[in-house]
Amino acid sequence: MEEETRDSTVILPGFIVLEGLDGAGTTTQMKRVVEKMQLSSYPCFGTCEPTEGPIGTLIRQILAKKIDVEPSTLAYLFASDRNEHLWSREKGLFNHCRRKDLVVCDRYLFSSLAYQSLESGYDFVYSLNKRFPLPEWCIFIEVPPEICHKRITLRKEKELFEDLEIQKRILDNYERAFSSLVPRGIKFLRVDGTLPEARVTEMIWSFLDI
């Protein structure tokens, strides 16, 4: 079963992914959706990529510009972090899905296709990610790059990728990833992330046919 699931033509039931540009509000919505699930007594698990594991921690240092690596190395690291996140025998989210938990994840392989393709090329990044299953639901929180940019400039530390022109190119890469992967059977929603947070959560909630 596990081996059969290692393929991006396979949909992982119960797996929900939130995607968006930096500042779109994916982390806020992941927390809000998990809270709503807990209130409704759904077994669920909220998580994010990069993870809080050793590879994710290393990635955070690269994003904060404390460590410098080749762009392709960063693409490998995101894929390795994802591999642990999915398949770790103890804590892997595949185990959660198998137990019929709903898993809500702030970013997934669409982020790699959108961000790492900038410098490493779409085909290379796809080749690193093609053995990961796709989520049952993917929600894209749409916020214009100009507004995202305003939101993130309010933050103290500036990370990699947080430049307006770069964010516009990331958006194009997201569109490419969605048009190629969504037709494989993902339930896909675009939601207007400029609406009030609670309204965005309501729209996501009514879309999830759980």
Q: Does 45 bind ligand TMP (CB under 6 A)?
A: no
Q: State the number of binding residues for ligand TMP (CB under 6 A).
A: 12
Question: Which one, 42 or 194, has the nearer CB to ligand TMP?
Answer: 194
Least Cα distance to 37 among 9, 57, 14, 20 occurs for 14
Q: Which residue of the chain is nearest ligand TMP when measured via CB?
A: 115
194/170 Cα distance (integer angstroms): 18
Contact 78, 59 (CB under 8 A): yes
Q: Which of 12, 16, 46, 49 binds ligand TMP (CB under 6 A)?
A: 49
Q: Provide, rounded to whole angstroms, the least separation between the CB of residue 115 and ligand TMP.
A: 3
Q: Does 107 bind ligand TMP (CB under 6 A)?
A: yes
Question: Which one, 73 or 100, has the nearer CB to ligand TMP?
Answer: 73
Least Cα distance to 108 among 168, 164, 30 occurs for 30
Residues 76 to 95: which contact ligand TMP by CB under 6 A? 78
Q: Which of 11, 63, 171, 203 binds ligand TMP (CB under 6 A)?
A: 63
Q: Which of 29, 112, 120, 201 binds ligand TMP (CB under 6 A)?
A: 112
Q: Does 203 bind ligand TMP (CB under 6 A)?
A: no
Q: Provide, rounded to whole angstroms, the least separation between the CB of residue 156 and ligand TMP.
A: 13
Q: Does 142 bind ligand TMP (CB under 6 A)?
A: no
Residues 159 to 178: which contact ligand TMP by CB under 6 A? 159, 161
Pairing of strands 102-106, 134-142: unpaired
Q: Does 47 bind ligand TMP (CB under 6 A)?
A: no
* Contacts to ligand TMP by CB under 6 A: 22, 49-50, 63, 78, 107, 111-112, 115-116, 159, 161
